[in-house]
Structure formats: C-alpha cells, structure tokens
Amino acid sequence: MCGIIGFKGTSNLNAVDVILHGLKTLEYRGYDSWGIAVLQNSPAKKPSISVLKAVGKIGLFDDLKKKKKLGTSSMGIGHTRWATHGAVTKTNAHPQLTADKSIAVVHNGIVENYQELRSWLEERGYKFSSQTDTEVIPHLFDYYLKKGLPEEEAARKTFLRLKGHYAVVILNKSSQKILAAKNGSPLVAGFNDKDLFVASDVPAFLKYTRKVIFLDDMELVVLNDGISLFDIKSGRRKRRKHDTISWSPEQAKKGNYPHFMIKEIEEQHESIRRAINQDDKKIMEIASQIKNSFGTFFVGCGSSFHAALTASYLFSMIANKHINVVLGSEFPNYISFLKKDSLIIPISQSGETADILDAVRAAKKKKSKIYSIVNVMGSSLMRMSDHTFLMNAGPEICVLSTKSYTSQLVVLTLLAYASAGRLQEGKEELLKAARHVEDYFKPEYGARLKKLASRIAKYHHIFVIGRSLNYPTALEAALKIKEVSYIHAEGFPGGELKHGSIALIEKNTPCFVFAPMDETYHEILSNAMEIKSRGGYIIGVSPKDNKIFDFHIPVPKDHFTSPILNIIPIQILAYHLAVKLGRDPDKPRNLAKSVTVR
C-alpha cells in the first residue's frame, strides 16, 4: 500500500514531472489521497518548499495553474496515501511538514508508538495540524537538528525511536538533501549519471534508470552528490554493489491494451514459458531440501495460498510427499512444529507482503531454512531468504494476480516432478500446456466469455466447485471474480455442497463446475446435477461438453497442469465482468498490490 517517490537531479528533468509520473506509475498500490513537495531554489529567492495535496485520484493532472504554481525544481518527494491514522482529507494527506515548512516527510507503514511520541513532542512545544501518525516524524527530526546533531545522526536518532514497520523519505530544505530509511516496508534507491531516486517500487523510476540499490531493514540512504548508505543501529557507513533490473520500461506499460489486467492475462503464453525455463540444478537442489527436511511448509496469502494448496495435491500425487500449507497470517501459530531442519517455502509475487515477512521472521527464530518463490528481484523476502527461486513472470502492475499465479503453479509443478525424480517429464508436460494457452486469446474464445459475462453480470452471487487439484482452482476462480467485479463469489469442494452450502442455491444462480477428464470427472458431474436440480445455472469448465451444462467453457484435456489451463478462462471472464459492470480492473476498490501493513 501507499506509494513513495523521491528525486534529486542535476539533469534537465523537472522534479514535478518526475514525481507525478512516479505517482501515476504507483497507482496500482492503492490510495485515497496524494501529494507532492518540491524545493524551490531560484538564485533570486530564499529556498522554500512548495506543496500540493489532494483527495482522490491523480488522473492526468491537467490543472496547469496548480502545476505552474509548483514551478520548476530539481528536487522533491511525493506520496499516494491509503488512510490508516486520520480521515481521508487534504490535511492528512502526505507530505507532512514542520510548522516552518523546512522539513517535509512522506511515509508508508504505521508508527505504532506515535501517541507516545506526539505527547512527548507536544510537551516540548511542537504543535500538530493533522491526525496522522506520520506527523511525528518531521517534528522529531527537527527536534534533533535543533539539538545540534549532524543531519545523518539526527535522522538516525529519529528512526531509532520509531516502532513498527515503515518506509520514510525526508526532504530537508536547509541541507537540500533527501534522506530515506526503511524497516519492514519496501524501499529502493536508483541512479543514473545525473539523477538520484528513491521509491517504494522500481516502476516509479524505471523510465529513467535500471540501476538500483535495494535497502535492507534499518538502513538509511542519503541522496546528495551521490547515494550514501548507513546502518541505522550503528551509524556506520555501508557499501553495496548496485543491481540492474532486467525489466524494460515497455514491459511496465499498457501499450495498446485498455487495461493492464487483460495485457497481463495475455502475456501468460510467454510468462509460463519463462517460468518453465529454470536452472535444472537449482530445481533439483530445492527438491533435495524438500525430501530431506523435517517438515516442509508452503506459506502464502491470497492467490499465493491457493497456489500452495494446489502444490500440496501435486506433491501427494506426483511425488508421494506430504506438504504442509499455511496461510501467512496464521503461520506464527505453527512455530512450535518448526525445527532447525524444517524447510519453509514462502510464496509471494511482490516479496513485500507483511504477513509473509512476519512468517519468515518467526521461522528464522527457529533457525529453519527459508527457500522463497518470488517475482520481484531484490524484494525484502528475497533478501531474508537463504535461497530464492524467481518465477520470472515479469512486472505485474494490475492489483489482481494473473500471470504471477500461473507462474507460481509452474514452479511448484516443476518442484513436484523434481521431487519424484521426473523433472524432464514435468517440463515436457508444462510445455505441452503452454502451447494450449494461446488458444484462449483467439477472438472467438474471448467473444464466448464476453457473452457469458453479460449473461451472469446481473446476479449477486456466484458459486464455484471443484475436486482434488481443482478445488484450489475453484477458490482462486471465486477470488478473481469477487475482487474485480465485486460480485459475491465462493469456491467449494464439490463433496462439501451437501454439508450446508447447497442451501444457498436459488433459481438461475450461476455455478461454475471444474470438470477435468480425470478420476474426479463423474463425481463432480454428480455435484453439478445436485445444483442443477435446485435451479442453478451450470457453467462447465471442461474438455468435454455435457448435457448437464447450461454453458460450456472448453479447456484442453490434461491432468497435472489442469489448474493452470482451467484458471485462465476465468481470469478472462472476470475481466469482462468488471468491464461490463463499469469497474476498474486494474485498481479494484479497497485493494492494493502489496499488502505491506497488517
């Protein structure tokens, strides 16, 4: 949640343009208000900080009067806020400033001890104008500066007093420096020959550079003549080589597509192949760790949890191996099971999900091994892990997980086959599935799903059932539908219907049935008939049409790769439902791409 960007340049770039571009790029993280602060430093006037804040979306920002008021600047910070402390108002939007407007701060996360700090600062004469926890940060930094501490030391003292997870960027008018720090929330610095950047995510400045330095927790970075890095606890200066991002700016753009969601769905014919194209030696190494571990735990949230649940079936069927699957938010309750030779495999697209990072911290206290599956290079999860397996999905901008979900399934399928000593067979099966994916993007197939979306968009409830491998697929299908269309959708195991859920079926209630041609086929058709007998409208997702189905979505005949092949049509359908209902597929309400607060 929340987007952050800071810029200090010596090129011809205007900080206002750079920051606005960065904030628009970070819109996928979710926000309800936004703001920017830039340093005005013309030779004829004393330096000053100009601020613009607003509630709602940034849009195209065509208000030239306001933009002109900000002028031209070589330095500034910006923020998109998702309210936690204080209502959604201009006053509570970031940046938050000191009374004399000499210090501006943007902040992602929560200052857990802000009430204590606020009272302490008020006793020393500081006045507060907002309801936010963030406002304690500029005042605290100002307090230490006025005590005569050097700037980096004042920042270090400030951050040492903050409790909770945060990413903070400070603009100091007096020194004309930008200082930033992180603890538990993402932050990355970037640079080119003339300009310096800091942001909560790489796409914010990918247009200008691919050279980046990923910050570790409790690190302070100073943007001045270059990038300086310090350890917050010790105050010692640190040195680190930069990484080079492999994504191109074009990959992070919509191009000719109306939305990122449909672009990223269609990119799956490439992303699935990239996920298959892994280092065999590394796959076998992780498979060996799974085989020899004292308990293997797959940990995920949302779609990643559904991928992990699918993996538990794959490992059972392919490798005769038991896998524990735990929700990230619930994992700390399982730490009593962990040993030094337990293996934890957290799965995350962003690598910044707060619940996943907490799970890893809990596991590390038990000295368990961490082998993560992640998409974003340099993410917090990647740096906390003993080893990392990159899923290679490429940048995923839409809030909904689509191509990263199928990439996770590919990696997990490879690991299951590798654990059975059949890696090459697994690769061949996955490549065969990848060849089928392009069929989903033929115009006639899309038109069929668009027609179905128009048929069911008027209903308030949708149900999805599956068995075995396709029970987690049913959960994922329901999640995709409800998070982008806002239609209530629920996924169930087919066998659980008569244990209560069938009471919800009414006349014409849309019910998706995953019916692969495997050992579950006849049982799931019996479940579908139970629904149809009570008036449900049956939508069969199956290689074979059946008279029970009121509508048939054809999919290829396959077995262990059916979770990959069966979910993509539902992703497309969910997209068409959202468009039909006037929703924004890329930025569903109340959701954010990276859930970085608990």
The single residue listed with the structure tokens 């100073």 is 222
Residue 153, SS3? helix
Phi-psi label, residue 345: left if phi above 0, alpha if psi -120 to 50, beta otherwise: beta
Active-site residue, from 2, 301, 398, 511 = 2
**Enclosing H/E stretch for 230:** strand 227-231
- Please state, in angstroms and rounded to a whole number, the distance separating the CA atoms of residues 81 and 58: 12
Residue closest to 537 by CA, chosen among 515, 578, 506, 565: 506
- CB burial of residue 251 (10 Å; 0-12, 13-18, 19+): middle
- Please state, in angstroms and rounded to a whole number, the distance separating the CA atoms of residues 380 and 376: 9
Residue 216 gets which letter from DSSP?
A: P
Residue 413 identity: T
Residue closest to 76 by CA, chosen among 185, 250, 205: 205
| 2 is a catalytic site residue | yes
- CB burial of residue 223 (10 Å; 0-12, 13-18, 19+): buried
In which order are the strands placed within the sheet that holds 219-223? 96-97, 103-109, 166-172, 177-183, 219-223, 227-231, 237-238
Pairing of strands 296-300, 243-244: unpaired
- Please state, in angstroms and rounded to a whole number, the distance separating the CA atoms of residues 446 and 439: 10
Residue 154, both tokens = 């004042």
Answer whether 221's CB lies under 8 Å from 228's CB. yes
| 593 is a catalytic site residue | yes
Residue closest to 561 by CA, chosen among 411, 451, 384: 411
Pairing of strands 103-109, 166-172: antiparallel
Residue closest to 516 by CA, chosen among 551, 478, 476, 544: 544
Residue 73, SS3? coil
Residues 6+ apart with CB under 8 A from 388: 371, 372, 373, 374, 381, 382
Instruction: Phi first, then psi: give them for residue 542, nearest 5 degrees.
Output: -160, 155
Residue 415, both tokens = 């690991």
- Please state, in angstroms and rounded to a whole number, the distance separating the CA atoms of residues 487 and 465: 16
The per-residue b/e assignment along 529-546, b for 16 or more CB within 10 angstroms, e otherwise, is ebbbebebbbbbbbbeee
Active-site residue, from 24, 157, 321, 593 = 593
The single residue listed with the structure tokens 């309400």 is 589
Residue 387 identity: H
Residue 484, both tokens = 């982008």
Q: What count of residues does the chain have? A: 598
Phi-psi label, residue 54: left if phi above 0, alpha if psi -120 to 50, beta otherwise: beta
The residues assigned a catalytic role are 2, 593
